[in-house]
Structure 1
Amino acid sequence: MEREEALKLVKVQLTEHRYQHTLGVMETAISLANQYGADVKKAELAAIFHDYAKFRPKEEMREIIVSQGYPQDLLEYNAELWHAPVGAYLTKIEAGLTDREILDAIRYHTSGRPGMTLLEKIVYLADYIEPGRHFPGVDEVREMAQNNLNQALIKAVQNTIFFLMKKNQTVYPETFFTYNDLVKGSIG
């Protein structure tokens, strides 16, 4: 699928603000893919579709999570997590993308997972550091991403966990497992 066709499909699903965010994620993912040797076309498409389900009704997302056999514990955590696996599913069903690497990069862009692939890391990080993001710690992660993808990812996941804890919100276990896996990999 070509960029313009993908963007056209996504644009009707998003607010203008979220569409601009998506364009930033796309450009950032392309840049990171070039820098770290990932498939640029796959990074582009995964970034374009990463928030495809962001504004779907919660009940629709809940039904897809249940019917498609996604981990049911997702439903016990913040609904912000749901759009990632649901987006992977809907990208396959509605946009016809079947590449497992692309779909997994969409699926894990919010929670991460142990053993993340290079493409998954790039989309996760691109979503976190795209130029439209402005929050404490993002500039540090942007700088780290220029030199070490894994260290930037560790910091991004760490910041996310700290942010949720500070707000007294639950942290999805897979995010903790992701952090532990990344840290183990960086010292091993």
Structure 2
Amino acid sequence: MIYSKKYTTLTRDELKEKVSQHMSDKRFQHVLRVEKKALELAKRYDVDLEKASIAALTHDYAKERPDEEMIGLIKSEGFDLDLINYGNAIWHGIVGSFLVKTELGINDEDILTAIELHTTGACEMSELAKVIYVADYVEEGRQFPVVVKARELANDNLDLAVSFETKHTLLYLINQQSRIYPKTLETYNQWVAQ
């Protein structure tokens, strides 16, 4: 894919190189699989392919940053301090969006919001945000009991895929007795609860 320079001054290869410098090879392979799935879904649901590629390649940009760095950014950049209570599973989307903007110079709000919401979802999500949320969940390297059903839904109906993912993510968190970020509950109430 050749980028238009509309959303980033980087080429796709340059963006891949910058992203790969901030993560393990295992994580980077996941990122590439998410991009592949995001592009498939973007084609199916008429979402801008370049935006889907950029958001997918950068969605985990902050995933392997040290906790101290992330906590420091939460404090210094005016994020809600309650974020500190939820750990990297939540931080890496919200703070990661900020880092993609400041370090990579990507300013498109649709892309940044898709990165921010890729783990929590939201009541209101753009088609791009839904694509990244779902692609991250169903990429071909994922192996968990309901992933086949999730993939089927992703190919049939993006909104139903968002609902299914949200429900099963919440069930997983409850079974793990994990803290649940309030936006995840809001997403559940909007997309799943009747």
Q: Distance in 1 between matches of 2:19 and 2:87?
A: 23
Q: Which residue among 50, 74, 79 is the counterpart of 1:70?
A: 79
CA contact (8 A) 2:166 2:192 kept: no
Q: What residue in structure 2 maps to residue 99 of structure 1? A: 108
Aligned match of 2:33 in 15, 20, 24?
A: 24
Q: Is residue 2:99 matched to residue 1:90?
A: yes
**Residue correspondence of structure 1 range 114-129 to structure 2 within 5 A:** 114-129=123-138
Contact 2:164 2:192 survives alignment (8 Å) = no
Cα deviation, 1:76-108, whole Å, max 9, x if unaligned, reads 223321111121111111111111111111111
Structure 2 CA distance for aligned equivalents of residues 63 and 113 of structure 1: 25
Of 6, 28, 39, 2:48 maps to 39
Partner residue of 2:59? 50
Equivalent pairs, count? 185
Residue 69 of structure 2 corresponds to 60
Matched position secondary structure for 2:177:
coil
Deviates more, 1:127-136 or 1:66-75: 66-75
Tell me, which stretches of 5 or more residues in structure 2 are unaligned?
1-9
Kindly state the Cα deviation for residue 147 of structure 1 after the two structures are TM-superposed. Answer: 0.7
- The alignment's C-alpha RMSD in Å is 1.3
2:166 and 2:191 in contact (8 A); partners too: no
Query: How far apart are 1:70 and its partner, in Å?
Result: 2.3
Residue matched to 1:150 = 159
Listed as ranges, the gaps of 5+ residues in structure 1 are none
Structure 1 residue ranges (4+ consecutive) displaced by more than 3 angstroms after TM superposition: none
Other structure's SS at 1:116 match: coil
In the TM superposition, residue 183 of structure 1 has moved relative to its aligned partner by 3.4
| Cα shift at 1:59 | 1.2
Structure 1 vs Structure 2: percent identity of aligned residues?
42
TM-score scaled by structure 1? 0.94
Q: CA deviation at 1:131?
A: 0.4
Secondary structure at 1:119's aligned position in 2? helix
